[in-house]
A and B are shown apart, each in its own frame.
Chain A
Amino acid sequence: MVSPLFILAIGLGAAFGVGLLDARSRGLAFAITLAGLAAMSAIGAEWLWAFVVDGVQPIMVMTAGAPPPFAINLRMGPAEAALVAIICLTGLLSAIQMREALLRLGRRAMAVLSIAVMALSGIVLTRDVFNLFVFFELVVIATGGLVLLSDDPRATAAGFKYLVVSQVASMLMLIGIVFVYHAGGSLNVDDLIGSPAVAAGGAAGLAFLLLMIALVLETKPFPANGWALDVYEAAHPGFGAIFSAASASAALYAVDKVVGVGGAAFLPMLTAIGLVTFVGANLLALSQTVDRRLLGYSSVAQVGLVLAVIGLRDLLGERYLMVAGGLLVAHAVAKAGLFWLSELVAGRDFAAWAALRRRPILIFAFATFVAMLAGLPPFPGFYAKWELTHALMAQGRPELVAAILVGALFEAGYLFRWFGRALKATPPEGVSDLPVSKVGVVVLTALGGWVLGEVWGAASPYGDVLGATPLLVALAFLALEPLSARIKNTLAIVVLVAAFASGWPHFDPLQLIFAAIVLLGGAVIFVASYAFADGRRTGFYPSAMLMYAGLAMLIVAKDTFGFFAAWEVLTIGSYFLILRGKQSEPHALSYVVFSLGGAFAILAGFALAAETTALFPIAGLKQVAAPFAPWVFVLLAVGFMTKTASIGLHIWLPGAHAEAETDVSPMVSGILLKAGLFGLFMLLMQMGRQSLYGVDLTLVLLWIGAASALLGNLMAVFQEDAKRLLAYSSIGQMGYAVFGLALMNHLGWLMALMFVINHYIYKSSLFLSVGGVYKRTGTREMYRMGGLITLMPLTFFAVLVGIVAMSGVPPLSGFGGRWIFYNAILDTPARLPMVVIFLSGPIAFLYLFRLIHTIFLGQLKDEHRRIREAPIWLIAPQMLYVAFLIGFALFPGLALRKVDAFISRFIPEHALNWDGLTITSAYGYWNPVSIMIVIVVIFVTLLAWLVFLNRRAQMVKQFNIVFAAERPYRPETTHFAWNFFAPYRRALGPLTEPYFERFWQAQTDALHGWAGFARRFYTGDGQVYAFQVVGFVVIVCWAAMGMTP
């Protein structure tokens, strides 16, 4: 083992060695610097390996030949090794990124870089408080030097502000140190930890408080951090990475090291400061438009979160390292990677990041970093988030969970807004070359993030997300990206079918239905993707497979961790899918924000349910005790309803589904929405009825379902955009399903399942039909079309069958759903929500008729006279759906009988009777085959008669109509289509106003307005910053004195 001292020695040696060189041999100096940093990283990594793999015990390194307190000693343990490795690696990779700047400024700059990395390592390693101070001051001086590396002329001012503030901090630290020393008689942290004088409070306590505040100031706490933000914005991104990843890690570790001296009394202070920082910085970040400043805000926030976790370390117990480490590592890797990425981008606004699109691998890296920061699986932050919320809930601290999750949601909001902008903005003109070494560094960092994810997964007691086969298969599609889209599409279909076949024997009937829809249904939709499989279709297959992987994992999840991980995976996958649409940027953003908000609710719910048991089986939800159970129910239900787009949480859906690509719309509508229903199914099966403050929560669900059905249908009526119409109709349909579930009776659940199946089929079919029309006409505005029936007869037929099925008119399968629905509601005592859902029923006819009429009937437009039928690949799945709709209409028992029996296990009353071909309930009966035969016979007979009477009917031209004394000559003025249901809108008036959109818009406006206003606090004046720091110190002192008697 190489002594840790060599880390410091090599850093200093490299710095001085470079200084001795000739000023002109810059290349050599750069090589020495890199070699030094590499050697330091190697030592750190070697130790880390020794601790983790070989199980070596931590060691103390004495210096100056004397034990402490007479000499300084260093400690090398797993945490130190990991942090030193991070710091030195960050330094090394940043040096590569800063190559031009370093070569331009010469050996002095390189020496300063070596010193900075050495000093940061020193902060981590030393056990001596004063030595800590010295290293901090070295960092200050080195930072002061490195800030000047930037090309940005504003960096000088930023560096000066930084120096001013660090002067204040260093004075505090020094005064604190000397009084702590006076009271405790030692400068060694380990000696001080036992010292009663400091823990006793009084003057020594105040001194320690000053020391702590000085250290906390180094972590850039909100709001005393304007100086740091300026440095982040103006400094060279290579240095920004060091400042964010390395400096922050070192400062946090210093806090962690020293806080033990003061004892538990100081921990709440850290938590409070940390959480205020996390929420505050993330809130203010919402109104940022400059990438590096945004990264600065985000860094501040993330470090604040780790600071809060340090404050909670007693509470976290043995999970502390996993949590703090996970958050810190995710932050460090992601932030360093993003700063390095920002160097490859010329402009400073988000749109400039579109330049990354020229190298898809960089988008992959970008996505990786964003996911790491947002705490998504399979990265360390995900495990940390899971552990943290569970530990906090177990200790009865829901308010902390709420604060953390709110802050995290803000963060996800701006991160994904940025990501979406980068993917959707027009790339800047002019191609600047992306140097291989810099791209390599970024990609390496991203891969490092994945490795860390695996490390955390392997260490997690709950399960390794990266070890899940579906996810690995989805990731394998990343590796397949260079292949042509046709091959990938075929592979995707094979994979989905194979997954279903292999899982078949193990599914229970409920899982079987959902699995069939997700996997087989997904495979059918992929058939349509052949129509778009030109070239490579980069990004499509990994995203889609990620979503399917998440769904597949969701269906078979046994414990809450697996369920939640799957939920997040499918959310990310579907987000990437939705984002692919041309105009989908804002909609994808609102989708992901709502989804993550819902996911956080689920997380909180699971954590609340789990109490102290860490690995919580889903079946355990049954046993959740009284005071928590209703809250668990509420949290989970809200989470699931963000996916079913229940009213109030629905505003993401119309845009997301409408703007998605043609074959993506059915995926996210027909399949993705079912995830929410599956969750609700799971919830109701396990938890049953719950009541909160005497209100039956299933009744609330019933109302929500009914309102969704009514308003979703109502809004669909007034859409001019065909895909939006279908999207709103999905809200209504999902409302029916939620209503059915909430009925809590046998037939209600059966009806919900019937909707699950039917909605998948007809909505997928209709989206593909409309997509085919869009492909041919180039518009989704229905009034711009018309008369397409003769040109696209197969599409028309598919739509016809689809709408007949959807409206519930016999003899197609929608009727079965309605029939079960009526029987189900006969059992419920809740009659008012039932009335609401009655109101919504007939409204479906309005929009369905409009859909088929304005597109296919009426007057054909001149510009459409030559269009052809939709591509065969789009038609083929539609015909399959048509066949299935008819088949399912005839023999609903094929799918439903087993499920009926399965539901009987939970609710035995009022099961259906499946004797022969007639299906009988307690109230009525229904014979699908007879209905079909009767209707077909009547229809065919009458048709035959008409044909007999009218056999010589002659086709006439388009305008050959009886038009009161005029001859119509333009299809546009003759096609009655725009605002088709104007009288209906007039009659309903206020019911059709978009209240919920306005509500959420007002919320986001308020947040952004607040952030925009509050950030003016950072005036940019160095003196004001110093004043804020002093004010922060005073307030924290005052608060801490108040807290500790």
Chain B
Amino acid sequence: MTFEWIKIPQSLLTLFIVLNYGLLLTALVQKIAARAGRRHGIPIWQNYVDLLKNYGLRTNITHGVMYYLGPVFRLSGGVGLLLFVPTIYGSEMFSNLSFAGDLILALYFIFFGTLGMALGAGESGHPHAAIGVSRGLSQVTAAELPLALAVFSVALQYHTLSVTDIVAAQQGGVAHWTLVTNPLAVVAGMFSFLGSMMRSPFDVVLAPQEIPIGPPTEYHSSYLALMQTNRAIFPVAKMVIYMNLFFGGASSWAEFCLKIFLIYMVSALVGVVFPRFRVEQSIRWFLTWAVPVGVAAILLV
């Protein structure tokens, strides 16, 4: 196999588009959520401002090597996740680096950044970071379950683990989407989605009131900037997987933007309506409501 070097600029282009879209999208959704709470909300370009400010800050301290590497892990996780999955269906240009592996690679790579950042936060020695990680890991193990079940249900349904093939199987109108053909898997997957978006009712990990912002407590300036970059890329990368698995993928950037926005709105809608769960409550919620749906999806597919 020979590597086509053109892949590199193509992937960088994807990255660039998604970064900007992500920055705008998160701000937009935050604004919508604020309006729902009768607040004015942030300006749409706020994320750019924050990012530039943080990249520009010169207060540089470090707690050690792992602390230093944490944000790198985090952002590598986001970028890698994005690039291991084809973004636009039918486009060789935006199939990115998906030749390296299939759906399983993407699913397991989600943990790369989480793990690295948790380690970095751990080295800061701040108890709030450790508490946040403890909560986050506890919750994410429960929240990942319905997704794993849903993904597997989908893989069983289409007899493949290749993302491209799964999207291909959903072409030909809404009626072919997994949403219609395997609704249980989609419900389970979306439950899991709620848990992974750091929004209410599952945002106790960051818990701004009791453990100021959780794991990233000690991160500042360029470290924080890297993480903020990731915060724009990573949700979109994750939603690309959801879109590809459940909602027929996207064959153009316009369709991509619309679908990602709508998927994001699900968690935003739920977030503005429901108050926050404690960790054990959210674990139990996932185990009693989301997991059975996932199990049913696997058994009935």
Contact = CB atoms under 8 A, between A and B. Distances in A.
Nearest to A947: B68
B223 A950 contact: yes
B134 interface: yes
Interface string B19-42: 000000000000000000000000
A822 interface: yes
A1032 to B, nearest CB: 60
A855 B241 CA distance: 35
A935 interface: yes
A823 B102 CA distance: 11
A976 B162 contact: no
B123 A859 contact: no
A346 interface: no
Contacts of B134: 976, 980-983
Interface in B116-134: 118-119, 122-127, 130-131, 133-134
B119 A832 contact: no
A99 interface: no
B105 A819 contact: yes
Interface string A941-963: 01100100110111110111111
Interface string B111-152: 110010011001111110011011101101110110011001
A843 B148 contact: no
B97 A930 contact: yes
Given A857-B119, A926-B102, A849 B133 contact: yes
Interface in B156-215: 156, 159-162, 212
A976 B144 contact: no
Nearest to A804: B115
A272 to B, nearest CB: 53
B79 A942 contact: yes
A858 B118 CA distance: 11
Contacts of A834: 152, 298
B72 A942 contact: yes
Contacts of B105: 810, 815, 819, 926, 931
Contact of A938 (B62, B76, B145): B76
B261 interface: no
B112 A983 contact: no
Contacts of B287: 987
B135 A983 contact: yes
Interface stretch (B45-53, B251-259, B268-276, B278-286): B278-286
B299 A832 contact: yes
Contacts of A988: 283
B122 A853 contact: yes
Nearest to B112: A809
A197 B80 CA distance: 95
A853 B133 contact: yes
Interface residues of B, number: 82
Interface string B54-88: 01000011111110110111011001100110000
Interface centre among B109, B127, B156 (most CB of A within 10 A): B127
B84 to A, nearest CB: 8
A975 interface: yes
A818 interface: yes
Given A923-B159, A983-B279, A953 B60 contact: yes
A1018 to B, nearest CB: 55
Given A859-B125, A935-B80, A926 B226 contact: no
Contacts of A980: 130, 134
Given A835-B295, A857-B66, A950-B60, A822 B104 contact: yes
A939 B72 contact: yes
B71 A924 contact: no
Interface centre among A838, A955, A975 (most CB of B within 10 A): A838
B141 A842 contact: yes
A841 interface: yes
Given A843-B141, A939-B76, A946-B71, A956 B131 contact: no
A984 interface: yes
A787 B137 CA distance: 20
B155 interface: yes
Nearest to B96: A934
B43 interface: no
B6 interface: no
Given A838-B145, A923-B155, A934-B100, A858 B122 contact: yes
A949 B222 contact: yes
A835 B60 contact: no
B221 to A, nearest CB: 7
Contacts of A977: 130
A845 interface: yes
Contacts, number: 237
A846 interface: yes
Nearest to B55: A949
A981 B72 contact: no
Given A810-B109, A846-B138, A931-B101, A954 B127 contact: no
A559 B112 CA distance: 47
A64 interface: no
Contacts of B127: 963, 968, 974-976
A964 interface: yes
A857 B226 CA distance: 22
A987 B284 contact: yes
A412 B248 CA distance: 64
A600 to B, nearest CB: 39
Nearest to B282: A987
B66 A789 contact: yes
Interface string A581-617: 0000000000000000000000000000000000000
A1030 to B, nearest CB: 66
A961 B155 contact: no
Interface in B214-269: 217-218, 221-223, 225-226
A916 interface: yes
A831 interface: yes
Contacts of A926: 100-102, 104-105
Contacts of B71: 946
Interface string A565-582: 000000000000000000
A841 B141 CA distance: 8
Contacts of B225: 949
B62 A954 contact: yes
Interface centre among A924, A952, A960 (most CB of B within 10 A): A924
Interface in A277-306: none
A859 B108 CA distance: 30
Contact of A956 (B63, B133, B294, B295): B63
A177 to B, nearest CB: 76
B290 interface: no
Contacts of A931: 100-101, 105
Contact of B218 (A923, A962, A975): A962
A931 B112 CA distance: 13
Contacts of B79: 938, 942
A917 interface: yes
Given A809-B112, A927-B100, A959-B125, 17 more contacts: A789-B65, A800-B119, A810-B112, A818-B108, A826-B156, A838-B152, A842-B144, A842-B148, A924-B104, A926-B104, A926-B105, A939-B73, A968-B127, A981-B138, A984-B279, A984-B280, A987-B279
Interface of B: 1, 55, 60-66, 68-69, 71-73, 75-76, 79-80, 83-84, 97, 99-105, 108-109, 111-112, 115, 118-119, 122-127, 130-131, 133-135, 137-138, 140-142, 144-145, 148-149, 152, 155-156, 159-162, 212, 217-218, 221-223, 225-226, 278-281, 283-284, 287, 291, 294-295, 298-299
7 contacts: A852-B122, A858-B123, A938-B83, A946-B68, A953-B68, A961-B126, A964-B212
Query: Considering the complex of A and B, which 4 residue pairs feature the smallest CB-CB distances, nearest first?
Result: A924-B161, A857-B122, A924-B102, A987-B283
Interface of A: 787, 789-790, 793, 800, 804, 807-810, 815, 818-819, 822-823, 825-826, 831-832, 834-835, 838-839, 841-843, 845-846, 849, 852-853, 857-859, 916-918, 921, 923-927, 930-931, 934-935, 938-939, 942-943, 946, 949-950, 952-956, 958-964, 968, 974-977, 980-984, 986-988
